[in-house]
Structure 1
Amino acid sequence: MLHLRLITPADTTDEVVRLIEKTVGTAHLVVLPGAAHNPPGDVVMCDVAREAGDELLAELRALGLGEGGSIAVENIDLSLSKRAEKAKEDAPGEGADAVLWEQLADATHEESTLSITYVAFLTLATMIAACGVVLDNAILIVGAMAVGPEFGPLAGICTALVRRAPRLALRSLTALLVGFAIAMAVTVVFSLFMDSIDLFSQDLLNGDRPNTAFIYAPDWFSFIVAALAGIAGTLSLTSAKSGALVGVAISVTTVPAAANAAVALSYGDTKQTWGSTEQLLLNLLGIVLAGTLTLLAQKLHWAKQRERTAKKLKV
Structure 2
Amino acid sequence: MAAEPGTSHVTFAAGAAISPAGDVIEADVARHRANAVLAALKALHLNETGGITFEPAANRLDSGREADKRRLLPHPDRGVVWEQLCEQARTGARLTPTFLVFLAIAFLLSAVGVATASPLTLVGAMVVGPEFRPLSALSVGIVRRDAALVRESLRTLTISFPVAMLATAVATFLWIRLGWIGTGDVENARAFDFIYEVGPFSLVVALLAGAAGMLALVTYTSTVLVGVFISVTTVPAAGLAVVAVFAGKWSVVLSSLGQLGVNLIGIVLAGVVVLLVLQRLELASERPRFLPWMRRRLERARTR
Q: Same fold (TM over 0.5)?
A: yes
Q: Is the 8 A contact 1:126 1:259 kept in 2?
A: yes
The 5 A counterparts of 1:1-315 are 20-82=1-63, 83-95=65-77, 97-206=78-187, 209-210=190-191, 212-307=192-287
Residue 267 of structure 1, CA deviation: 3.5
Q: Is the 8 A contact 1:92 1:309 kept in 2?
A: no
Residue 207 of structure 1, CA deviation: 5.1
Q: Is the 8 A contact 2:186 2:247 kept in 1?
A: no
Residue 63 of structure 1, CA deviation: 2.3
Runs of 4+ in 1 over 6 A off after TM superposition: none
More off after superposition, 115-124 vs 269-278: 269-278
Higher RCO (CA-CA < 8 Å; seq separation 6+):
2
CA shift digits 1:236-267 (9 cap, x unpaired) = 00011111000000000000011011112234
Unaligned runs of 5+ in 1: 1-19
Which residue does the alignment assign to 1:16?
Answer: none
Distance 1:225 1:308, change over 3 A: farther
How many residue pairs get aligned? The number is 290
- Cα separation, 1, equivalents of 2:8 and 2:70: 10
Q: Which amino acid aligns with 1:76?
A: A
CA shift digits 1:47-101 (9 cap, x unpaired) = 1122322221122223222222211113332322224423432333141x33111
Residue 213 of structure 1, CA deviation: 2.1
CA shift digits 1:191-230 (9 cap, x unpaired) = 11111122222212135722x1221211111110000000
- Cα separation, 2, equivalents of 1:308 and 1:36: 31
- Cα separation, 1, equivalents of 2:249 and 2:231: 26
- Cα separation, 2, equivalents of 1:87 and 1:243: 31
Q: Is the 8 A contact 2:13 2:23 kept in 1?
A: yes
Unaligned runs of 5+ in 2: 294-304
State TM-score, norm by structure 2: 0.90
SS at match of 2:22: strand
Which residue does the alignment assign to 2:298?
Answer: none
Q: Is the 8 A contact 1:36 1:42 kept in 2?
A: yes
Q: Which amino acid aligns with 1:162?
A: V
More off after superposition, 213-222 vs 52-61: 52-61
Q: Which amino acid aligns with 1:278?
A: G
Q: Which amino acid aligns with 2:270?
A: A
- Cα separation, 2, equivalents of 1:215 and 1:115: 27
Residue 157 of structure 1, CA deviation: 0.3
Q: Which amino acid aligns with 1:86?
A: D
Q: Which amino acid aligns with 1:77?
A: A
SS at match of 1:260: helix
Q: Is the 8 A contact 1:52 1:91 kept in 2?
A: no
State TM-score, norm by structure 1: 0.87
Q: Which amino acid aligns with 1:41?
A: G
- Cα separation, 1, equivalents of 2:110 and 2:162: 15
- Cα separation, 1, equivalents of 2:18 and 2:189: 69
Distance 1:105 1:228, change over 3 A: same
- Cα separation, 2, equivalents of 1:246 and 1:273: 27
Q: Is the 8 A contact 2:183 2:246 kept in 1?
A: no
